[in-house]
Structure 1
Amino acid sequence: MVLFQPADGRSLAECGIASVHVAGAELNLLAAVRRAGVRAAFCSRVGADPFGERVLAAAAELGVETQLVVVDERYPTGLFAKDVREDGVRRVHYYRAGSAASQMGEDDAGRALSGGPSLVAVSGITAALGDGPRRAVVRLAELARERGVALAMDPNLRPGLPPVANVLRKLLPLTRFLVLGLDEAQPLFGTDAPDEVFRRAGEAGVGEVVLKAGADGCWYDTPSGPRHLASAAVRVVDPVGAGDAFAGAYLAARLRGIGPRGAARLGTAFAAGVVAAPGDTDGLPAEQEAGRLVDAAQQMSS
C-alpha cells in the first residue's frame, strides 16, 4: 500500500504537509530477505494508477522482484495514513476495502508458485482482507505442501482487521516456519508462555517456531527446547517494521543453511537497525554490513 503521514509534526486532521511512502508487512519482510542476500519476489495485485506504479518502483528499488504482481485495471491500489501522537502512540487508518489486493483469489496462489520458489511466506493480514484473499492463502499453503515448497507463516494479527486465528490454526500442520509475535500467541495457542507456545505449535504440526517479543528479544528452537535471545536494539525511533525485518532476516538465514540460533541473531540485528530509523525499511543494514552480519550468523551455526 501507499502510506501518507504528516511531515510537519501535526496530526492528520491539522497537517498542511504529508509525506508519501510505500509500506506493508509483506513487502517489508521481502526487503529484509533480499538485503540478507536471498532472492525475493512479491506476489500481489496493485491498481493501474500512480500509486500502483509507486509500489512497483519501491519494490524494485529494494531489490524485490515484481513479475508476480498483477496490475488490475478495475480496482485501485490500497492506501493508509498514520498519525504519530505527541506521546509516541501511532494510530493507523486504512483505506483498502475494494482495493486491487483485496480482490486476490485462488488463481493468485498458483501464480505465487510459478517461479519455483524454495519457500513461500504468507501473512494473516492477507487472509483478513476478504473471502478471496483468505482462499488464496489457504490454497497457497495446500499447493506448497503438494509441491514440496516450504511454507512460512507470520500471523500478523491486527485488531483493526477481521479475526483470522481460526483460519491460521488450520494451516499450522502445513507450516514449516512459524514466525509469530508474543502478543499473537494467545489467540493462536491459548497461552503466551514460550515453552507452552513451542510445545503446542509442535503438537499442531509446525516444523519450527521463532517467537518475537519486541524489546524483550525472541525465543528460538533448539533440540532441548526454546532458548531466549536478548534484543540488539540500543535506540528506538520507530518500532514499525521491526518484526517484519526480523522475520525476513530469519527466513533468509534458514534458507542459507544457518541454524536457528544464528538466524535469530541475524533477525535481531536487522530489527535493531529498523527501530533506530524512521520508516519501515530505512534502517535495514546496507549491503556490505548485511553481508558481515550474515557471515557472523553463519559462524554461530558452524
Structure 2
Amino acid sequence: MTPSRQAAAPDVVGVGEAMVLMQAADLSADDRFEVHVAGAELNVCAAVARLGLAAGFASRIGADPHGERVRRAAEALGVGTSLLNTDPARRTGVFFKEIRADGARRVHYYRDGSAASAMDASDAAAILAAAPRAIVVSGITAALGDGPAELVGTLCRASGALVVLDPNLRPALPAPDLLPLLPHTGLLVLGQDESAALLGETDPGRVFAAAAEAGAGEVVLKGGPDGVWFAGPDGRPRHLPSAARAVRDPVGAGDAFLGGYLAARLSGGSPEGAATLGTLLAARVVEVPGDTAGLPPAAEARALLARPVTAPGTG
C-alpha cells in the first residue's frame, strides 16, 4: 500500500488477533513446518485490499519475531498497519495445525496472555480517529477476554461507521454474549451453525426475522457447501449456491466471502452482486491451502468487483 493510501481514511478496519501458524502433516513427527500468518479479521482485510479498497488492521503484537512476521504479512497483503501496536510486555500468539493424509485437521492454540488478548477500550480512540467507512469485528475478538470484549462493545456503540459483525464462534473459545451488539450492527454475516447458537434458528427466513427483531441491519447467512442467503428487495432471503469446484482447505473461505461482500456493498453493489463476488472469492480460497493464498491477483480481483457492482441484480 502506498503512503498516500495509508494516510487517507481507510474504507475498512478489521479489529482482532493475527497469529503465526505452524502447519504440518504430523506435529509429533515432522521436522519441517509450513509457516503462515492467520487471523479472521486480517483475512477479511486482505480480501478488501485485493479488490482495490483501502483496508487497515487494528491489533496488538508482541515485540518478538512473530509480531514482526505478522506486520510484514499484513503489509505484503496490502493492508495498512498504522493501527497495529507493539506491546513489549506480551508475546504474539501462535498456533499449530495438523493436516492428516485423510483430510482430518487438528488445531492447537497458544494465545493465552498474548498481546492481542490485552486489547481494551483504550484502543478504540485511534480506530475511531481513523474514520473508516466500516469496522469489522468478530466473536473471536470478543472471546479473547474482558478487555477485547470491552473494545468490541465500545466500537459497536460509539462508531459512526458501518459496524460489521461476524460471530465466528469457536469451540476452543468461550462463547461471547453478542446479542447486545446486534442493535448496533449494520451488517451481520453468520453461518447456520452460529445462527443456531446466537438466534436459536437455522432456517433462513426465521434467521432473517430473528436478526431483524434483535435490531441487526443487513443480514447474510452462510450455509457452507449449501451456498448463502442474502436479502432480496423485500428483505426476505434469496439463495445463491456455492461456486466451489474443489475443496482442499476450507479455512478462510468465510473471511474471503465477507471481504468480497463488504467491498462490493461499499462500492455500490447490490446484495446479490455482493454475494456473487463473495462466493467467487470463497471458492478460489478453498482450492488451495492457506487462508489467503487463493485470492485472485489484484487486476483480476478488481475486474470481479466491477462486474457485480455495475451489473443489474434482483437483490
TM-score, normalised by the number of residues in structure 2 = 0.92
Structure 1 segments unaligned to the other structure (5+ residues): none
| Counterpart in the other structure of 2:129 | 114
Answer whether contact 1:258 1:301 (CA < 8 A) is retained: no
What is the letter of the counterpart of residue 137 of structure 1?
V
How big is each residue's C-alpha offset from its partner over 1:32-76, in whole Å with a ceiling of 9 and x where there is no partner? 111122110000000001110000000000000000011110000
How big is each residue's C-alpha offset from its partner over 1:173-205, in whole Å with a ceiling of 9 and x where there is no partner? 000000111110101110101100001101111
| Counterpart in the other structure of 1:180 | 190
Q: CA deviation at 1:300?
A: 2.9
| Counterpart in the other structure of 2:226 | 216
Secondary structure at the aligned position of 2:53 is classed as coil
Structure 2 segments unaligned to the other structure (5+ residues): 1-18
Pairing of 1:1-302 with structure 2 (within 5 A):
1-6=19-24, 10-144=25-159, 148-164=160-176, 167-224=177-234, 225-301=236-312
> How far, CA to CA, are the matches of 2:178 and 2:233 in structure 1?
25
Answer whether contact 1:109 1:136 (CA < 8 A) is retained: yes
> How far, CA to CA, are the matches of 1:110 and 1:213 in structure 2?
36
Secondary structure at the aligned position of 1:280 is classed as coil
> How far, CA to CA, are the matches of 2:144 and 2:84 in structure 1?
17
What is the letter of the counterpart of residue 163 of structure 2?
L
Secondary structure at the aligned position of 1:75 is classed as coil
Size of the aligned set, in residue pairs, is: 294
| Counterpart in the other structure of 2:11 | none
Answer whether contact 1:102 1:130 (CA < 8 A) is retained: yes
How big is each residue's C-alpha offset from its partner over 1:246-274, in whole Å with a ceiling of 9 and x where there is no partner? 00110111111101000000000000100
Secondary structure at the aligned position of 1:81 is classed as strand
Secondary structure at the aligned position of 1:41 is classed as strand
What is the letter of the counterpart of residue 4 of structure 1?
M
Secondary structure at the aligned position of 2:294 is classed as coil
Identical amino acids, percent of aligned pairs? 55
Q: Report the RMSD for the aligned CA atoms in angstroms.
A: 1.0
Q: CA deviation at 1:87?
A: 2.1
Secondary structure at the aligned position of 2:172 is classed as coil
Rate the CA distance shift 1:301–1:177 in 2: closer, same or farther, 3 A.
farther
> How far, CA to CA, are the matches of 1:301 and 1:52 in structure 2?
44
How big is each residue's C-alpha offset from its partner over 1:66-112, in whole Å with a ceiling of 9 and x where there is no partner? 00011110000000000112221211110000000000000112221
How big is each residue's C-alpha offset from its partner over 1:216-262, in whole Å with a ceiling of 9 and x where there is no partner? 11000113310000111111111110000000110111111101000
Moved over 4 A (4+): none
Q: CA deviation at 1:295?
A: 1.7
What is the letter of the counterpart of residue 290 of structure 1?
A
Q: CA deviation at 1:301?
A: 3.8
TM-score, normalised by the number of residues in structure 1 = 0.95
Answer whether contact 1:22 1:55 (CA < 8 A) is retained: yes
Secondary structure at the aligned position of 1:133 is classed as helix
> How far, CA to CA, are the matches of 1:97 and 1:244 in structure 2?
23
Q: CA deviation at 1:143?
A: 1.0
| Counterpart in the other structure of 2:12 | none
